[in-house]
Amino acid sequence: MSTDYSWHAIAVGNRLLGLYNFVVLKAPPTWRIIIMPMASDVFRHREINGVKWVRDGEVMHFIKDGPDTYTLRVVAKPGRKRLAGTSIVINGHSGAYEYVDDGKRRVLKLSFYCDVTDRTVEIKIEGVKDSTPIYYLTQSQCH
């Protein structure tokens, strides 16, 4: 059975403290997440229905898409932060996205405020070639 999307829980944790979620990404079916051990920080979290969501922290992994590799960085900050770019709705929340040229690669920056967890989440994908991921990412889960 084939699907036209894939789900990826972007989370960190250990056996003692448990799992802390940043976001659950809905992504193109060809994406595979390559986990970078020790490439994360969690300073604060909020538990919603038994699930811990990072309110202050960041994580970096890689996305493998066929022959292409992209850098994925997710940053969560407490409270509502200023959103820059073109307006968009992400799983019912107001957000924005923009493309930034960092001099080497094109970076997609997508951010939104989740009122349930009281945090602003920023998703950065470095090296993405087109706008296809936006369709999927807008359906990602944040709580």
What is the band of 49 on the pLDDT scale with cuts at 50, 70, 90? very high
> Residue 17: which residues within 8 A CB-CB, separation 6 or more?
none
| CA 75 – CA 123 distance, rounded (Å) | 7
Kindly report the CATH number that applies to the domain delimited by 6-137.
3.40.1000
Is it the case that residue 137 has pLDDT exceeding 70? yes
Q: Which amino acid is at 57?
A: G
- Please report, rounded to a whole number, the percentage of residues in the chain having pLDDT higher than 90: 78
Is it the case that residue 2 has pLDDT exceeding 70? no
Arithmetic mean of pLDDT over the chain:
92
Residue 19: CB atoms within 10 A of its CB come to: 12
